Structure 1
Amino acid sequence: MTAASPSPRPQEISIEPFAGTVTARFSDAIIASSERARVLYEPGHDPVFYIPFDDIYFDLFAKSNTVSRCPIKGMASYWNVSAVGDGAKDAMWAYETPNPVAVGIARHGAFDERVVRIEATPMPDALHDPTTP
């Protein structure tokens, strides 16, 4: 008889504030911009920027019927975007009520980088900037 193996531990994720400005553009329109964005790091995946709902221009979005489930983060909802005469399905997603490990991205949206251009501009480092007096 073999002993039962312990259940696998969920992958570790980390959520950190981004020191700078993150701007999301679709079809040449700014659809979100924030100096309060967060970056989610998850093993095996590229880092993902999450922008607070307050900094997303929701008048350009319509919630879709699409949902997905991540065993770590929880249930994700999706939004379609429409701007400058163009549109894209499920261009943004959010974990509105994430699992406890991902609570740092609650009420934040992330964007599908295949259709939304993300620009992340780090805050200038005054300590190491030779032009700072």
Structure 2
Amino acid sequence: MPHHHHALVLNRDGAVLLIATTRTPGLTLPGGPAETDELPHHAARRHTETQTGLVLPLLRILATDHTDTHPQALHLVHWGGRLNPAQESTTARHRPPHTVTGVHWVHHTRLADAMHPDHHRRTAHALDALTRGTHLPLLLRGTPAE
């Protein structure tokens, strides 16, 4: 079963960082599948950096979502943090791969209109966990990942 790792990143105004790709209808959180034997936070970090230019630790998980798509997949939403102005400007200067057709900041009240319903539900639950201050620590063999 493939694992997909996504990053929930906010700007100073609380807007969510989303990407447009050639592969998925609507906007999505940055991220993608892990490679064989790739650690979860490394997969999330690699995809987020490639797609947005941001290098983030992504060591807390806000939501998990098991989907019944073919093949079945487990999606993990990692907390990327709230960006400072320098980090925000990185996303504006970054040149993503051709599969990423745009990088957008979307206010949480407009997410339902911008995202596919499955992606929106996952993102809404992650935002709710963030608001409540709940998350899962990312552990490797019982020790917090670094």
The bucket for the TM-score relative to the shorter chain is 0.3 to 0.5
**Whose helix proportion is higher, 1 or 2?**
2
Q: Which has the higher contact order (CA 8 A, sep 6+)?
A: 2
| Structure showing greater Rg | 1
TM-score normalised according to structure 2 size: 0.31
